[in-house]
């Protein structure tokens, strides 16, 4: 049985603040109010780059639609750093309005149809562990169990994939990945358990940041590449086996039928 994480431990923005937040507000808020407390410490060395990225997003949002919503841009860091067990690295948010929710590969639970890459992830999940594909793309259940769904770039202009690359986000997420990989184990001997799942060349580029962490790498689940090594890669069962080897339980990868 996998380890159980208390979802109440997740750091959340106050609902009223989330409802009224603009990108300009986001850029001005103290780091400790935007992310979980242990993430605030880990990201402090790259706060200047984070502010650079947030300022760029606020400026771009003055004339264009920017995704995801302000309250979701830093959503991946509301999951406590100490609880991360699996890292899944994405590229940048889905550029289709209504899709991006701040977690790599996930979409809003009401989005229909789900993106094709996520559909392929579900196909592999069924082939690997027998769990039926879901009609929704809410991956919050994975995040609650310590799966960090982290894009390398955390924002995008609607309709323009990759439009916010090179604006500072890469430095921030590189620091985040190092922080996950370098956490000391309980007792201070060695590193904390971690499995990194890297799909595609962009994700594999972070491998040098991971040190001695266990890595599962394959082709990207995109329809353009899934047949070239993603299908049949069994990432979910392999991740659980590696977690068990590290004494860190397993992830229950089955998602609820509806979000």
State the catalytic residues.
92
Question: Distance between CA atoms of 252 and 135, rounded to whole angstroms?
Answer: 18
The contacts of residue 131 (CB under 8 Å, 6+ apart) are: 125, 253, 254, 255
In order of 173, 202, 204, 239, the CA distances from 209 in angstroms are 10, 13, 10, 19
Question: Distance between CA atoms of 238 and 196, rounded to whole angstroms?
Answer: 11
With vertex at residue 88, the alpha carbon angle to CA 156 and CA 206, rounded to the nearest 5 degrees, is 80
Beta strand segments in the chain, E: 66-67, 86-90, 147-151, 156-157, 195-199, 214-218
DSSP letter at 52? H
Question: Distance between CA atoms of 169 and 173, rounded to whole angstroms?
Answer: 6
| Residue 91 burial (C-beta neighbours within 10 Å; 0-12, 13-18, 19+) | buried
Strand order in the sheet with 86-90: 147-151, 86-90, 195-199, 214-218
């Amino acid at each position: 049985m996998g380890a159980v994480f208390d979802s109440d431990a997740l750091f959340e923005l106050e609902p009223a603040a989330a409802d009224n937040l603009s990108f300009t507000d986001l850029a001005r808020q103290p780091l400790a109010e935007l992310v979980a407390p242990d993430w605030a410490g880990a990201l402090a060395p790259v706060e200047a780059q984070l502010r650079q990225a947030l300022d760029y997003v606020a400026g771009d949002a003055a004339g264009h639609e920017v995704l995801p919503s302000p309250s979701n841009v830093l959503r991946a860091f509301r999951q406590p750093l100490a609880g991360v067990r699996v890292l899944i690295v994405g590229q940048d948010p889905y550029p289709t309005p209504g899709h991006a929710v701040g977690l790599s590969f996930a979409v809003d639970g009401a989005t229909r149809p789900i993106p094709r890459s996520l559909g392929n992830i579900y196909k592999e999940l069924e082939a690997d562990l027998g769990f039926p594909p879901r009609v929704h793309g809410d991956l919050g259940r994975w995040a609650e169990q310590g799966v960090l769904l982290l894009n390398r770039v955390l924002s995008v202009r609607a309709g323009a994939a990759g439009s916010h690359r090179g604006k500072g986000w890469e430095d921030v997420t590189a620091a985040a990945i190092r922080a996950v990989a370098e956490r000391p184990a309980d007792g201070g001997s060695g590193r904390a358990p971690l499995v990194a799942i890297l799909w595609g060349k962009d994700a594999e580029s972070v491998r040098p940041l991971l040190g001695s962490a266990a890595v599962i790498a394959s082709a990207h689940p995109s329809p353009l590449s899934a047949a070239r090594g993603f299908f049949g890669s069994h990432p979910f069962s392999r991740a659980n086996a590696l977690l068990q080897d590290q004494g860190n339980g397993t992830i229950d990868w089955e998602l609820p039928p509806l979000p």
